[in-house]
């Protein structure tokens, strides 16, 4: 019974550690690996890998949404899929990023949030925050991607004029993943961070320039590790349900929350 995380780049992913440890602790015969999908490669190639399920990461979450035969839950509203089940030649899509993110910030109880970026992860974050009655503003480099956020207040970098402070500022871009870039120019980002209560970067496993800047301003920070764990737990539950495998959810939570 094989599963994998699909993306590009993918070598940095800690998802195999989480899922394989859960398999071990639960005594379930499964294996979870990584697969580098080239950007010019057909997404349907994944059908030939003989996987039972997969997690989808950058930059394929929207491609996955458009490639699935059926979409379930909040993924339909978001337009992005991060969890797939392969069943009788069909691909079934779900999104665990949204709830996985919200579980990280619910205790903050923010009134509003600024999202930097407009990709698949931004969609998940924006829709779950809206569902929880939190006001959302998005800012992105180009206007093209913002067309997918018609029900939100949106700006491009050159038109952004913040009206109010934001409790929560979230970086959903790859800035800082493989480089030393900020997701927004420092002269614009610093004043926003000074008035925020939490800076959240979806990137995990490294101190990004975004988080470094936030810490220098002495505001609370969080990387994407907790979100990674939360969404992995939710995805694991979907994987096992699809295989009609029952397990102790308490052991699942403990196995993933303490391995990283």
For the ranges 9-13, 19-23, 92-96, 195-199, the lowest mean pLDDT is seen at: 9-13
Identify each DSSP E strand in 37-159 by its residue range.
Answer: 53-56, 70-71, 83-87, 90-94, 112-116, 135-140, 153-156
178 or 231: which leads in pLDDT: 231
224 in a labelled binding site: yes
Is pLDDT above 90 for 205?
no
Rounded to an integer, what distance in angstroms lies between the CA atom of residue 152 and that of residue 161? 15
pLDDT, tens digit (0-9, with 9 covering 90-100), for 83-103: 999 999 999 999 999 999 999
Distance of CA 113 to the CA centre of its chain: 16
3-state secondary structure of 122: helix
> Which residue has better confidence, 39 or 140?
140
The annotation status of 118 as a binding-site residue, yes or no, is: yes
The whole-number pLDDT of residue 153 equals 95
61 is catalytic: yes
% pLDDT > 90, the chain: 89
Q: Which residues, other chains included, contact 45 with Cβ-Cβ below 8 Å and sequence gap of 6+?
A: 37
How confident is the model over 173-185, as a mean pLDDT?
91
Instruction: Confirm whether residue 48 is marked as ligand binding.
Output: no
Answer whether residue 58 shows pLDDT above 90: no
pLDDT at 207 (0 to 100): 93
Query: Which residues is 137 bridged to in the sheet?
Result: 114, 153
Mean pLDDT of the 194-220 span: 95
Catalytic residue among 24, 52, 61, 194: 61
Look over the chain and give the mean of its residue pLDDT values, rounded to a whole number.
95
User: Nearest to residue 176, comparing CAs of 209, 127, 211?
Assistant: 209
Work out the number of other CB atoms within 10 angstroms of the CB of residue 204: 19
Inform me whether the pLDDT recorded for 206 exceeds 90: no
Residue 33, marked binder: no
Instruction: Name which of 237, 248, 223 is nearest 19 in CA terms.
Output: 237
pLDDT digits (tens, 9 = 90+) for 103-141: 999 999 999 999 999 988 899 999 999 999 999 999 999
Position 178 pLDDT exceeds 90: no
Domains for the chain: give ranges and CATH numbers: 2-94+225-258 (3.40.50.10860), 99-222 (3.40.50.720)
Residue 53 has pLDDT above 90, yes or no: yes
């Amino acid at each position: 019974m094989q599963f994998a995380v699909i993306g590009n780049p993918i070598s940095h992913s800690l998802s195999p550690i989480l899922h394989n440890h859960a398999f071990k602790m639960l005594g379930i015969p499964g294996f979870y690996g990584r697969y580098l999908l080239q950007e010019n490669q057909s997404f349907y190639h994944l059908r030939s890998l003989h996987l039972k399920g997969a997690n989808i990461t950058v930059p394929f979450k929207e491609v996955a949404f458009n490639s699935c035969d059926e979409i379930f839950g909040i993924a339909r509203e978001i337009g992005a899929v991060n969890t797939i089940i392969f069943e009788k030649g069909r691909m079934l899509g779900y999104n665990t990023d949204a709830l996985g993110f919200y579980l990280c910030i619910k205790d903050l109880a923010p009134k509003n949030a600024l999202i930097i970026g407009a990709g698949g992860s931004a969609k998940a974050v924006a829709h779950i925050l809206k569902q929880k009655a939190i006001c959302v503003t998005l800012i992105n480099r180009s206007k093209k991607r913002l067309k997918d956020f018609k029900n939100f207040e949106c700006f491009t970098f050159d038109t952004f004029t913040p009206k109010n402070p934001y409790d929560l500022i979230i970086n959903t871009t790859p800035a800082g993943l493989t480089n030393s870039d900020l997701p927004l120019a420092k002269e614009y980002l610093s004043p926003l961070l000074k008035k925020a209560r939490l800076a959240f970067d979806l990137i995990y496993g490294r101190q990004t320039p975004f988080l470094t800047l936030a810490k220098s301003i002495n505001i609370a920070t969080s990387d994407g590790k907790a979100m990674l764990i939360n969404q992995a737990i939710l995805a694991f539950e979907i994987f096992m349900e699809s295989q009609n495998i029952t397990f102790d959810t308490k052991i699942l939570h403990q196995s993933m929350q303490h391995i990283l």
